[in-house]
Amino acid sequence: MSVVIRLARAGTKKRPVYHVVVADSRFPRDGRFIERLGHFNPLLPKDSEARLKLDMDKVKAWLAKGAQPSDRVTRFLDAAGVVKRTARNNPEKAVPRKERKAQAEAAAKA
C-alpha cells in the first residue's frame, strides 16, 4: 500500500479550499483518506497565516512511516523546513515557443 500526503479539494465552485490528507494512492483525490493533517486556502494572501495550517507532529510521523508527499505538499514542507525539495531543471521553459520551433526545423533540415 503506497501512502501519500496530498491535497483533497473542498469548497464550492470557483472558491477552492484544500484539505491536506494522508491517503492510499489508489483512492480518489476527493474520496476516502486515512487522516486529515491540515488545510490550505489559496484565495488568501500569501503572507496570511491562515492560508496554510498543518499539524507538523502528524506530518513528521507520517513521513517517518514512509508516506510520500505530493509536489505541492513538498513545497509547503520545504517552506516549513521539514523536507528538502530538489531543484528541477527545465531549460526549455525559458525558451520562447517560436524560437523552439525554428530550432527544431533547423535541426530537422541538418
Summarised one tens digit per residue, pLDDT across range 15-47 is 999 999 999 999 999 999 999 999 999 999 999
CATH number, domain containing residue 15: 3.30.1320.10
pLDDT reading at 90 higher than 90: no
Would you say residue 45 lies in a domain? yes
Q: For a pLDDT cut of 90, what percent of the chain falls above it?
A: 75
In the chain, how many domains are there? 1
Would you say residue 89 lies in a domain? no
Domain residues for the domain of 37 are 3-80
Instruction: Identify whether the C-beta of residue 76 lies closer than 8 Å to the C-beta of residue 12.
Output: no
Would you say residue 49 lies in a domain? yes
Chain position carrying cell 524560437? 99
